[in-house]
Amino acid sequence: MTTTGPQPGRMEPPVTETSAPFWEATKEHRLILQWCTACDRAIFFPRDNCPVCLGSGLEWRPASGDGVVASVTVETSSPNPGIAGGQPYAVALIDLDEGVRLLSNVVGCPPSDVAIGQAVQVAWAPLSDGRNLPLFEPKG
């Protein structure tokens, strides 16, 4: 797992009461996911009830951090002046081995090299408050 440097003007996600365990784990470069104890499914993004069975019995479990690129686009410009100069970059939907899909960036290779079906693993980008943002890099 690679740690990348601070990104120019990266938006820092807010922490809520529901998402706090997820963000606390990122401080130690650990990726965790909620799991529904009723239907035994992984859940992402953090929430109060299972989106499948509406159960409220949720627990946090470690995730492998491994997945595949389900979709990707390369951004070459940004309307946000706070991140100007950080392009091009790959924005991808990542299907984790646990069965959830995350929207993230793929780093560690030229953005144009990122491909659907590509195996990736979690990498980390530091945030200003000690948390780390999960990004992904080519596996291997």
Mean of pLDDT values over 102-110: 96
Q: Please state whether 85 falls in left (phi above 0), alpha (psi between -120 and 50) or beta.
A: left
Least confident range from 28-32, 67-71, 86-90, 95-99: namely: 86-90
Tokens representing residue 81 in the block: 């002046």
- Measured in whole angstroms, the distance separating CA 124 from the mean position of its chain's CA atoms is 9
Bigger pLDDT: 1 or 8? 1
Q: What is the pLDDT of residues 29-86, one digit of tens each?
A: 999 999 999 999 999 999 999 999 999 999 999 999 999 999 999 988 877 666 656 6
- What is residue 84's predicted lDDT score, i.e. its pLDDT? 58
CA count, 13 A, side-chain hemisphere, 124: 17
Bigger pLDDT: 85 or 8? 85
- What is residue 85's predicted lDDT score, i.e. its pLDDT? 65
What percent of the chain has pLDDT above 90? 81
- Is 22 within 8 Å of 44 (Cβ atoms)? no
Is 60 exceeded by the pLDDT of residue 7? no
- What is residue 140's predicted lDDT score, i.e. its pLDDT? 83
Is 70 exceeded by the pLDDT of residue 9? no
